[in-house]
Amino acid sequence: MILDHINNPQDLKALPIDDLPQLAQEIRELIIKTTAENGGHLAPNLGVVELTIALHYVFDTPADKIIWDVGHQSYAHKILTGRKDQFATIRQPGGVSGFCSRNESEYDCFTTGHSSNSVSVAMGMAEARDLSGQDHHVIAVIGDGAISGGMALEALNHAGDLETPMLVVLNDNEMSINHNVGALNRYLSHIRSHPKYSRAKNNVHQALDHLPGLGKPLTRAISNFKNGVKSLLVPGIFFEYLGFTYLGPTDGHNIRELIEILRQAATIKRPVLLHTITVKGKGYEPAELHPHNWHGVEPFDITTGQPKSNNLHLTYTAAFGEALCGLAEEDPNIIAITAAMTDGTGLTGFKKQFPSRFFDAGIAEQHAVTFAAGLANAGKKPVVAIYSSFIQRAYDQIMEDVCLQKLPVVLAIDRAGIVGNDGYTHQGIYDLSFLLTIPGLTVMAPADARELRMMLRFALNSERPSALRYPKAQDRELPLVLPKIELGKAVILREGGDLCFFAIGSMVSVALDAAALLNKRGIQARVVNARFAAPLDDLMLRDCIASCHGRIITAEENVQEGGFGAACQMLLAHSGADITTAALPHDFIAQGCRVQQLEKYGLSAERLAEMAYNQWFRD
Ligand SMILES: Cc1ncc(C[n+]2csc(CCOP(=O)(O)OP(=O)(O)O)c2C)c(N)n1
């Protein structure tokens, strides 16, 4: 095996180019085998194996800097940069990260996970290089989905203007997670479908540039004519107008061709955009055939392509999708919006059933939220479904365009809480804190899927902006009748006078279990399902203080600072109550198993019961 002898880019550079296709094959096999065991981003990684080899073959990393947008496609990069032997631990607790991480390797020069920032990062690093009189290369590798994100477009606009030498490699596989959307995508597909333009490009440039000039007016006319003809004939003219030298499109699986064009790009002392065409899922047939099913996968059987565990339990995501379809049947004003995460947010069924009322805004969380504000302003009932971590991008839009204007937009915030194997960049553990600062926003979290349905209906009937947050978890139905939702009203699920668990969302069932454990020790805990983090149920909190000797433990799957518990503490600041907040630490939390991490941070039934016992009942 060639790969046995490759531990870093220096080893790679010692290989003849003819060996590189075989190396690519071996890396692919390792990626497929490992992803089948651990799960991960299979299709994006299979598409960039040749590109990764070529980049490390031509450039001199880590002195030259490569920034992988999102970083979900960095597996081959990790294998080639000293992490081959740990690769089996990818996405596992304590193992190699599934994204690029500055903590992990000097070859990962930026920690990534959120899309569309690589051009900005690369540009900053390139400017700093020039200001410091250094001369290394800076390269951003960005997908055709990510390049349509607002940040990437802002950076392209700026980079072309500054003329700082840098290379943007556009990895165009015609896919985001689902099929790509938008006008830029149509433009790229136009270039892809006319490969002959590529070969013609240099000739066209040269021929036009050598047309003779005959006096000023004629020169202007000829110049206009040249630009007109170029825009018809030169691929990538859009990028050229932005100030980039456009190279390509080139076959992203032909290593020799890639090496040649990268060497050429490295000689150009201005911003260059290299457009490579790749196949998402390349080399594993099921992934090539259905790349969107293979973007991110759970462990699977390589021969059949079937997932190893068949999970038939209802997730909150599925419950949300079904509930929204049911409500949309009753109300034609309901509209669903995703930011490039149709499947992930459970909207696939809605898209099929109500195609004209479904919008995929692309990787554009900010735009998706303000687009919803526009719809709500004109009388529609928009529901924007976004993961907690990604909606961080739209904080300003929620504040200014939705809440300041009191528009009844519903934010359906999925993956709120610990997310598991994706780790640091994807944790949804800050949303309660940043949403609670916004005046006039109703913030809810359901205790089970039935309550999620009730809350969604409540939010859609509300005249205020609402946020509804729910975890990456399966439903565990509470064995209780749930009273109807009333704004800012909590409900008592279990009576007890020794202490009170005042819990929200996923922590309600955990608190019920903790109360059952305390009951075995003769301690009676009241359990309250808070339902709302804003507005808080002031009366209920004061009743709990009076009925439970002022002993309250709040519980939430969010960081401590600025969260639900902190809001309760603030509300009761002068009440004399003894409030303890059970929450996640104010930190960035690494990849791991959700259940184990909740246990570690004190958010399991055993740990909550222990907390109560140690605080008030140990003699
Ligand atoms: C801000 C943000 N929104 C959404 C995502 C989720 N996400 C991860 S990869 C991806 C698609 C990226 O598509 P593309 O750039 O074309 O790369 P490909 O996976 O096709 O290689 C999306 C939407 C994210 N990582 N960051």
Using most ligand atoms within 8 A of CB, pick from 111, 177, 192, 278 the residue to mutate for ligand 1.
177
Q: Of ligand 1's atoms, which has the minimum distance to the CA of residue 344? A: 6
**69 CA distance to ligand 1 middle (Å):** 8
Average pLDDT for residues 572-598, to the nearest whole number?
94
Question: Do strands 525-529 and 271-277 pair parallel, antiparallel, or not at all (unpaired)?
Answer: unpaired
Strand order in 491-494's β-sheet?
491-494, 525-529, 499-503, 551-559, 578-584
- Residue 360: what are its φ and ψ, rounded to 5°? -100, 110
**616 CA distance to ligand 1 middle (Å):** 48
**363 CA distance to ligand 1 middle (Å):** 7
For 315-380, the DSSP string reads BHHHHHHHHHHHHHHH-TTEEEEESS-TTTTT-HHHHHH-GGGEEE--S-HHHHHHHHHHHHHTT-
Q: Are 119 and 244 in contact (CB under 8 A)?
A: no
Our CA angle for 481, 419, 388, nearest 5°, is 80
Structure-block tokens of residue 241: 């107008």
Percent of the chain with pLDDT over 90: 87
Q: Are 146 and 182 in contact (CB under 8 A)?
A: no
Q: Of ligand 1's atoms, which has the minimum distance to the CA of residue 70? A: 25
Which pLDDT belongs to residue 313? 84
Q: Of ligand 1's atoms, which has the minimum distance to the CA of residue 291? A: 20
Q: Of ligand 1's atoms, which has the minimum distance to the CA of residue 69? A: 15
Q: Whose CA is nearest to atom 22 of ligand 1?
A: 177
Distances (CA, A) of 415 to 101, 239, 478: 21, 36, 20
The total of other beta-carbon atoms located within 10 Å of residue 464's CB is 15
Q: Of ligand 1's atoms, which has the minimum distance to the CA of residue 48? A: 21
- Which of 189-198, 267-276, 492-501 is predicted with the least confidence, judged by mean pLDDT? 189-198
Q: Whose CA is nearest to atom 19 of ligand 1?
A: 44
**71 CA distance to ligand 1 middle (Å):** 9
Q: Whose CA is nearest to atom 15 of ligand 1?
A: 143
Residue 551: partners with Cβ closer than 8 Å, 6 or more residues away? 498, 499, 500, 577, 578, 612, 615, 616
For 453-471, the DSSP string reads HHHHHHHHH-SS-EEEE--
pLDDT by residue (tens digit) across 337-356? 999 999 999 999 999 999 99
196 is catalytic: no
**344 CA distance to ligand 1 middle (Å):** 12
Q: Of ligand 1's atoms, which has the minimum distance to the CA of residue 341? A: 23
Radius of gyration of the chain measured on its C-alpha atoms: 27
Using most ligand atoms within 8 A of CB, pick from 31, 35, 45, 70 the residue to mutate for ligand 1.
70
**357 CA distance to ligand 1 middle (Å):** 23
H helix or E strand, kind and range, residue 385: strand 381-387
Q: Of ligand 1's atoms, which has the minimum distance to the CA of residue 113? A: 25
Q: Are 377 and 402 in contact (CB under 8 A)?
A: no
- Whole-angstrom distance, CA of residue 21 vs CA of residue 294: 23
Q: Which position among 393, 453, 469, 472 bears the catalytic label?
A: 393
Q: Of ligand 1's atoms, which has the minimum distance to the CA of residue 425? A: 25
CATH class for domain 3-194+237-294?
alpha beta
Q: Whose CA is nearest to atom 17 of ligand 1?
A: 143
Q: Whose CA is nearest to atom 23 of ligand 1?
A: 340
**93 CA distance to ligand 1 middle (Å):** 23
- Whole-angstrom distance, CA of residue 223 vs CA of residue 228: 8
Architecture of domain 491-617 in this structure: 3-Layer(aba) Sandwich (3.40)
- Whole-angstrom distance, CA of residue 44 vs CA of residue 143: 9
Which pLDDT belongs to residue 213? 46
13 is catalytic: no
Which pLDDT belongs to residue 200? 47
Q: Which position among 65, 240, 282, 365 bears the catalytic label?
A: 365
Banded model confidence at residue 230, pLDDT cuts 50, 70, 90? low
- Whole-angstrom distance, CA of residue 505 vs CA of residue 414: 12
- Residue 455: what are its φ and ψ, rounded to 5°? -70, -35
Which pLDDT belongs to residue 350? 98
Structure-block tokens of residue 9: 């880019």
**228 CA distance to ligand 1 middle (Å):** 34
Which pLDDT belongs to residue 233? 55
Using most ligand atoms within 8 A of CB, pick from 176, 189, 369 the residue to mutate for ligand 1.
176
Banded model confidence at residue 598, pLDDT cuts 50, 70, 90? very high
Q: To the nearest whole number, what is the mean pLDDT of the chain?
A: 93
Banded model confidence at residue 311, pLDDT cuts 50, 70, 90? confident
Q: Inform me whether the pLDDT recorded for 336 exceeds 60.
A: yes
| Position 453, amino acid | R
- Whole-angstrom distance, CA of residue 67 vs CA of residue 142: 9
Average pLDDT for residues 223-247, to the nearest whole number?
75
Residue list, ligand 1 pocket, CB within 6 Å: 44, 47, 70, 72-73, 114-115, 143-146, 171, 173, 175-177, 280, 295, 340-341, 363, 365, 390, 393
Strand order in 65-68's β-sheet?
65-68, 138-143, 166-172, 271-277, 245-251
| Position 78, amino acid | K
Q: Which position among 28, 65, 280, 531 bears the catalytic label?
A: 280
Structure-block tokens of residue 591: 């990849």
**18 CA distance to ligand 1 middle (Å):** 33
Residues 117-137, buried b or exposed e (16+ Cβ, 10 A)?
Answer: bbbbbbbbbbeebeeeeeeeb
- Whole-angstrom distance, CA of residue 284 vs CA of residue 367: 35
For 131-180, the DSSP string reads HTT----EEEEEETTGGGSHHHHHHHHHHHHHT--EEEEEEE-SBSSSB-
Which pLDDT belongs to residue 619? 79
**146 CA distance to ligand 1 middle (Å):** 6
Average pLDDT for residues 454-462, to the nearest whole number?
98
pLDDT by residue (tens digit) across 95-113? 999 999 999 999 999 999 9
Banded model confidence at residue 177, pLDDT cuts 50, 70, 90? confident
- Which of 62-66, 222-226, 329-333, 503-507 is predicted with the least confidence, judged by mean pLDDT? 222-226
Which pLDDT belongs to residue 214? 47
Q: Whose CA is nearest to atom 13 of ligand 1?
A: 176
What residue ranges do the domains of the chain occupy? 3-194+237-294, 197-234, 316-469, 491-617
Q: Whose CA is nearest to atom 25 of ligand 1?
A: 114
Using most ligand atoms within 8 A of CB, pick from 99, 115, 278, 472 the residue to mutate for ligand 1.
115
Q: Inform me whether the pLDDT recorded for 391 exceeds 90.
A: yes
Q: Whose CA is nearest to atom 16 of ligand 1?
A: 145
Cis before residue 62, ω within 30 degrees of 0? yes
Least Cα distance to 175 among 39, 73, 244 occurs for: 73
Q: Do domains 316-469 and 491-617 have the same CATH topology?
A: yes
Q: Of ligand 1's atoms, which has the minimum distance to the CA of residue 278? A: 21
| Separation of CA 122 from chain center | 20
Per-residue DSSP letter, 523: -
| Position 598, amino acid | L
**30 CA distance to ligand 1 middle (Å):** 23
Q: Does domain 316-469 have CATH number 3.40.50.970?
A: yes
Q: Inform me whether the pLDDT recorded for 197 exceeds 50.
A: no
- Whole-angstrom distance, CA of residue 352 vs CA of residue 228: 41
Please tell me the pTM assigned to this model: 0.94
Which pLDDT belongs to residue 204? 47
